[in-house]
Amino acid sequence: MSRLGSYLCGSVAFGAISLATTGAFAACTGPGAPTNTQTRCLTAIQIPGQPLRSYDISFVNPQRAEYYLADRSNAGVDVLDTQNLTFKRTIHGFVGVVLNTNGTVNNNKSGPDGVVSHGHWLYAGDGDSTLKVIDLNDIMNPIKATLSTGGLFRLDEMDLTTDGRLLLAANNAEDPPFATLFRANGDSPTNTMGPTSKISRIYIDPSIMPPGGAIEQPAWDPKTQRFYTSVPVILNNPPGCQAVSPTAANPCDGGLLVTDPAQVTPGTYVQGAYNSVTNTGVIPLHACGPNGATLGPHDNLLLGCTPANSGLDTTTLVINATTHNYANIGNITGSDEVWYNKGDNRYYTASNRDCATPGFPCPTAATQKAVLGVIDGTSVLIEKIPQSSGSHSVAADSKRNRIFVPQSAPVFVVGVGGDTTTVGAGICGSTNGCVAVYAHDVDRDDDGGDHEGDHDRRDR
């Protein structure tokens, strides 16, 4: 989530924390569990400990049948069993929730944040600008290394190459923001990562990156052998735009940073405007200030556009990694994390401010509702399912076609900034927050669409 996006989701003043009730009523009830959608609420997994009030990115490793959630409320990464739909454990050792002096959450210093997995290795960014290297096979002492990126604020979203040997991770809250390219563990049985694992720190040229700007979710494309990273706002896009605020009358759109790790020079590497010869640099986007990024079928990237970055955003964008041709998907926006599930050939968006008309914030209360967006592989919006307010994280298990969406605890439990609707409690069947599990019955309603999954960065 960008600093602009953090403004809304991070302004959470917590009052006295009350004891939440679990099992007070049945899970999967209310508007978050409609009966007329293809994507159905299956169950809700409760997270032990503190009510779920602050969390970030999630990830699924289908080979291990595990889901990982960056749970700041409990200062750890929650591990859920995607086969049996149960809580397994929390991997502790993170900063947790850090508060500002006025009692609001400081997203820029809280952690964990971004997470990604390959084999038995899990990588997670923390609020102190460190990367935690975690061996999922070690129950007693899973954190094998803590590597600093040298920043002052959180290490956020990240992705791996298909073989798990290179990791690109973004420090989105630094000014200027930067990404760090690491040598990662791949399939090594033991940890090989240490201080010398950092290959380079990557910046965007200041003629493109505005002061106070950010870089967001990277996505690896094995076809082009490039990382594609969302850039929420870039200068002069379109000419004469204002990059100072998403509320500006003519806010700037974002871009897509293309990085070839083979061309990255050790130490510091600065990227500029897009170069078609090297296939690197920043591609300007139209009508999109993106946070999330995920690789889908036919070498297409779906980007999570959001009015938190540009108040004029009202659509979601799909762009081809090779041709750069693009299409805007109407009636869905405001997404942070987005995910392509090759098991059912669908994209899922965690849209925390789904706006139908331009404006910042969304013009009326009726248009600020959080939803789970469901988009098929041909880039057609299928449905939107209500979620707890502030919902911004989603991941799917491609082997089991189960979709996991964290739900915030209600406002009366965690204070201002909690779920202001009854949707989350209805889905969870409790007032602690939870991880909702949705299912898509592929055999029942799939029309035989494209199920190629070789380019899916998440389902390895």
Over residues 157-172, mean pLDDT = 98
Domains in the chain, CATH or no CATH each: 3-445 (2.130.10.10)
Q: What does the pLDDT read at residue 8?
A: 35
Q: Is the pLDDT of residue 114 over 50?
A: yes
Mean pLDDT across the chain:
90
As a 3-state breakdown, the chain gives helix, strand, coil percent values, each rounded to 5, of 10, 40, 55
Q: Is 135 left (phi over 0), alpha (psi -120 to 50) or beta?
A: beta
* pLDDT tens, position by position, 207-244: 999 999 999 999 999 999 999 999 999 999 999 999 88
Q: What does the pLDDT read at residue 117?
A: 98
The whole-angstrom separation of Cα 170 and Cα 153 is 11
* pLDDT tens, position by position, 380-405: 999 999 999 989 999 999 999 999 99
Q: What does the pLDDT read at residue 7?
A: 35
Residue 420 CA: distances (Å) to CA of 47, 51, 114, 197, 423: 20, 15, 25, 44, 9
Question: In degrees, to the nearest 5, what angle opens at C-alpha 354 toward C-alphas 348 and 358?
Answer: 135
Number of residues assigned to the chain: 460
Of the ranges 15-19, 360-364, 423-427, 444-448, the best mean pLDDT one: 423-427
Q: Are 442 and 344 in contact (CB under 8 A)?
A: yes
Amino acid at position 317, single letter: L
* pLDDT tens, position by position, 419-431: 999 999 999 999 9
